[in-house]
Amino acid sequence: MTPSPIISKLKTYFPILEIVCIAGFVLGFLLKKQDYPIGGEIVMLSLSALAGIYFLSAYLPPDARPEGEPDQRLGFMSLLGRTIAPKVLGIGSAVMVVGILFAVQQMKGS
C-alpha cells in the first residue's frame, strides 16, 4: 500500500517548516526578552506549529524498502526501529514542545 500523494508532499516540507518554526521561536523569544508585545505571540505561534509538525510526523508511513530487497519477515526489532520508535519520539517531542511553550509563556501548569 502506497501513501497518498498529500502525505508524500507533507513529508518533503516538514524539515523546511521545522527550521522556519525554530527560527520563529528564536526571534519571538528575543523579542519577548526585549519586552516587545508581539514576542509572546510569535513564540506561541511558532511553538504550536512546531508541536503540530512533530505530532503529524509521527503518523507518516515508514520509508519503503528498495525494489531489489527480498520480501522477508523482519521481526519485532525491525518493527520497533522502523515503526514504533519514530511514533513514540514524534508524539513525545510534540508534548515536550508544548511543555516548553508553557514554561516560556509562564502559563499555569508548567
In terms of Cα–Cα distance, which of 12, 19, 86, 85 is closest to 50? 19
Distance CA 53, CA 48 (A): 9
Q: What is the distance between the alpha carbons of residues 3 and 23, in angstroms, rounded to a whole number?
A: 30
pLDDT number for residue 84:
84
The pTM of the whole model exceeds 0.75 = yes
Q: Of 53, 61, 40, which Cα lies nearest the Cα of 13?
A: 53
| Tens of pLDDT, residue by residue, the chain (110 residues) | 566 677 677 888 899 999 999 999 999 999 999 999 899 999 999 999 999 999 988 888 776 666 666 656 667 777 777 788 888 999 999 999 999 999 988 877 65
Place of cell 524498502: 65
Cβ atoms of 60 and 18 within 8 Å: the answer is no
